[in-house]
Amino acid sequence: MFPETGTASLAAAPAATAVFTAVLTEGPLSRVTLARRLGLSSAAVTKAARPLIDMGYLYELAATERTSAGAGRPASPLAVQADREFFVGVKITADELIGVVCDLCADVRATARRPLSDPSVEAVLTELGRLVDGLLDGPGDYRSRTRRLGLAVSGDVDRTTGQVRYSPFLHWRNVPLSQQAARTTGLTVTVENDVKALTAAEHWFGEGVGAESFALVTVGTGIGCGLVVNGRLVSGSHGVAGEIGHIAVDASGPDCHCGGRGCVEAIAGTEAIVRQARDRSGRPELTIDDAVALARAGDERVGAVFARAGSAIGSGIAAVANLVGPARIVVSGEGLAAYDLFEAHIRAGFERQAFGAAVDCPLSIRPLPFEEWARGAAAVSIQSLVVA
Amino acid sequence: MFPETGTASLAAAPAATAVFTAVLTEGPLSRVTLARRLGLSSAAVTKAARPLIDMGYLYELAATERTSAGAGRPASPLAVQADREFFVGVKITADELIGVVCDLCADVRATARRPLSDPSVEAVLTELGRLVDGLLDGPGDYRSRTRRLGLAVSGDVDRTTGQVRYSPFLHWRNVPLSQQAARTTGLTVTVENDVKALTAAEHWFGEGVGAESFALVTVGTGIGCGLVVNGRLVSGSHGVAGEIGHIAVDASGPDCHCGGRGCVEAIAGTEAIVRQARDRSGRPELTIDDAVALARAGDERVGAVFARAGSAIGSGIAAVANLVGPARIVVSGEGLAAYDLFEAHIRAGFERQAFGAAVDCPLSIRPLPFEEWARGAAAVSIQSLVVA
């Protein structure tokens, strides 16, 4: 049923990759439209699409246009056969695995979670095997059409080698995760930084489709940013990119764990908010949920902590807009469960610091269901099928 | 002598553009190397190079390798005929025009300056005509081999239409400069923002050659930044990019003319430095040259102004490194005439705020001869010959 090359990408030729990517992210598209958009001849599009149709990944919709009267081949749009193949995506956190099964269009078909009592690599792999088995052997008959697993981990991840170089929350260093997870699950595994994985999902299947540039900012324990510029994810020549959390926005602000001072994350990360809320309220046992409840109940001292945090995030987002000018910016993450406390201050900070026409950059500020992280991992796995 | 199409780019086909660009920026290169690097067949490279050789832009060096014994055509490297065509570049400031003649490899062959008593469009065009005539009719016989003029202007410039939308220092709005300058000089004119023009010169002919990403930061009256990411200049979806001067680095810092607070430029731009030096020294007549002299003579109050400015610039540069991770960053501009006062503080600010491996990004901090801006304008003109 599958081609021999189980782990290779489907589309080896650049034209085939371009056609598959375009139909997957923006389809259905006719061959004429594809040829025009991709700068290919019609013959090249037809040749590139043929094996993808033969393998069942693409199919032809009923013809809707003819190139000209009597011109022969009708221009049937090409569409993706979404259930041709399924993909598991898993977000690994220090205390839980969150998993999804997605189809080829990154629509979520099933979800599952498993608590982790121990974030050691061995324990995570054991639970990962159980999670994947549960997802694939449950209702839906996904097992027979699933070959690939995407994993998302916070920290420094080398997508090319599948290695987790450093994950502070998991206390992992230099873990060859893709190889180990492949042994455990029998699947072809991709590993990506969680923010970059979410960005990939938005770029191919969300608000970033068709944008030459966009940014995704995540707010929570860490404050991160995925960037697409000139049509491609920015990965950073020295392995660092999108570190909006460590932009300095307040020269007399608090010290940050990174060694810097007044970083966005040192003011607006979850821990920073808790610390400031404890100081201001004089209640050293306060949790983030307590802080949110107090602010919502009208506590001005704790409300000011969220206001300062929102303003710092807004300044950081303005720095992104001023420097790279994305077409749009999505602001999300688990921290935005308290988004009623943040949103106005994020927007005000952004509008104050956005330079000139940069203020026209639309901000989408919205909470992020935790399964979205796992869907991001699946999206990277889908990309690995499509792009070599 | 020239092809009929006086204003069109030489290389209409993508393959020809790719070949010409590669030889110009990284040459000499053999056809075999070009084919491999550009993903083209040898036949396609040969076909693309032929008209460029026929027109005298490229030539074949003596053969240095054969593809295989008896394989026929020797793999002679292709090189650029630098004096095949010349280009004028002019930087327009509010009180002076600075002009250069460059050859096809952007090497400066002649320079000239003309003071401006009046920055009106009419006065600038009149002086521009005289400057260009002086450059082309002086020694070197450039006139007969010059068709193109590049102009560089600070502010908001639309390179596509050749319009200066807004230049605060010149007090210009919506000036169709390329058309007007073409009428005055009889040349084909490109207009670009000055920082982007400098970045183009570094990208094609300087420290940025071959880099997938790099940044050029300019320090002076304004503080700007040109960015190349994923191999291309970042222009900003909303017309704004590279505005490092308006990143907020100090939440309790001075108000900025842009409406923001604590912007890098509000702390480290020339005017900001003069204002702070006057405040600290109690001498309201102080100029920037006086401030530099006082700081160099050991005045601690004025020295602290430069230290704060350097630290703010370093924080801004760290934001660039943390967000987009350029391979290298060049820091330059007329402000760096006082670079002995700045450099250590720029580096310290950068090192404090660069996140993790972002600190590995090399900084080249160097003064910028004013002719470099004019060379940048010429480089954009060269690009317009090569790329449609």
**In the A/B pair of chains, how many CB contacts fall below 8 A?**
194
How sure is the predictor about B1, in pLDDT bands with cuts at 50, 70 and 90? Answer: very low
Chain segment A229-255, per-residue pLDDT in tens? 988 889 899 888 999 999 999 999 999
* A282: exposed, middle or buried (Cβ count in 10 Å: 0-12, 13-18, 19+): exposed
What pLDDT shows up at residue A190? Answer: 97
What pLDDT shows up at residue A1? Answer: 35
Closest listed residue to residue B99, CA positions, set B380, B367, B372, B366: B372
Q: Which of A306-310, A325-329, B46-50, B59-63 has the lowest mean pLDDT?
A: B59-63
Q: Percentage of chain A with pLDDT > 70?
A: 93
Q: Does B154 touch chain A (CB under 8 A)?
A: no
How sure is the predictor about B16, in pLDDT bands with cuts at 50, 70 and 90? Answer: confident
**Which residue from B238, B263, B323 is facing A360, i.e. has the nearest CB?**
B238
Subunit contact A243:B322, Cβ cutoff 8 A: yes
Residue B72, pLDDT > 80, answer: no
Specify the DSSP element, H or E, that contains A268: helix A264-268
What pLDDT shows up at residue B8? Answer: 61
Chain segment B203-246, per-residue pLDDT in tens? 999 888 888 899 999 998 889 999 999 888 898 998 889 999 99
What pLDDT shows up at residue B49? Answer: 92
Higher pLDDT, A64 or A212: A212
Subunit contact A324:B156, Cβ cutoff 8 A: no
Chain segment B273-299, per-residue pLDDT in tens? 999 999 999 999 999 999 999 999 999
Supply the CATH classification number for the domain B85-200+372-386: 3.30.420.40
Supply the DSSP symbol for A175. E
Looking at residues A195-224, what average pLDDT do you find? Answer: 91
Assess whether the region A14-80 and the region A86-200+372-386 belong to the same CATH fold.
no
Q: At what angle do helices A288-296 and A270-281 cross, to 10 degrees?
A: 60
Residue B53, pLDDT > 60, answer: yes
Which residues 314-373 on chain A approach chain B with CB closer than 8 angstroms? 315, 318-328, 352-353, 355-358, 360-361
B322, B328, B350, B351, best to mutate vs chain A, most A CBs in 10 Å: B322
Which whole-number Å values give the CA distances from B96 to A230, A324, B238, in the listed order? 35, 31, 31
**Which residue from B241, B260, B358 is facing A352, i.e. has the nearest CB?**
B260
Residue A71, pLDDT > 70, answer: no
User: A119: distance to nearest CA of chain B, Å?
Assistant: 24
User: A113: distance to nearest CA of chain B, Å?
Assistant: 32
Which whole-number Å values give the CA distances from A72 to A43, A67, A68, in the listed order? 13, 8, 8
**Which residue from A238, A250, A324 is facing B241, i.e. has the nearest CB?**
A324
Separation of alpha carbons B360 and B328, rounded Å: 9
B40, B227, B229, B257, best to mutate vs chain A, most A CBs in 10 Å: B229
The ipTM, to two decimals, is: 0.86
What pLDDT shows up at residue A4? Answer: 39
| Chain B residue with minimum CA distance to A236 | B325
Chain segment B19-43, per-residue pLDDT in tens? 999 999 998 999 899 988 888 888 8
Subunit contact A241:B353, Cβ cutoff 8 A: no
Closest listed residue to residue A84, CA positions, set A5, A26, A142: A142
Separation of alpha carbons A213 and A160, rounded Å: 23
What pLDDT shows up at residue A5? Answer: 42
Quote the strand ranges of A184-327, DSSP E: 188-193, 214-219, 223-229, 232-233
> End-to-end distance of chain B based on CA atoms, in angstroms?
21
Q: Domain limits of chain B? A: 14-80, 85-200+372-386, 210-368
Q: Which residues of A touch B311 (CB under 8 A)?
A: 251
Subunit contact A237:B261, Cβ cutoff 8 A: no
Q: Does B266 touch chain A (CB under 8 A)?
A: no
User: A246: distance to nearest CA of chain B, Å?
Assistant: 7
Q: Which residues of B touch A261 (CB under 8 A)?
A: 352-353
Supply the CATH classification number for the domain B14-80: 1.10.10.10
Supply the CATH classification number for the domain A86-200+372-386: 3.30.420.40
> End-to-end distance of chain A based on CA atoms, in angstroms?
21
Q: Percentage of chain B with pLDDT > 90?
A: 70
Q: List, in sequence order, the alpha helices (H) in chain B.
A: 14-26, 31-38, 42-54, 121-137, 177-185, 194-205, 264-268, 270-281, 288-296, 300-324, 339-353, 371-386
Architecture per CATH, B210-368: 2-Layer Sandwich (3.30)
Supply the DSSP symbol for A66. B
The residue assigned the tokens 């720095």 is A319
Residue B69, pLDDT > 60, answer: no
Supply the DSSP symbol for B263. B
Chain segment A148-204, per-residue pLDDT in tens? 999 999 988 988 999 999 888 899 999 999 999 999 999 999 999 999 999 999 999
Which residues 66-85 on chain A approach chain B with CB closer than 8 angstroms? none
Q: Which residues of B touch A239 (CB under 8 A)?
A: 325, 356-357
Chain segment B74-122, per-residue pLDDT in tens? 568 999 999 999 999 999 999 999 999 999 999 999 999 999 999 999 9
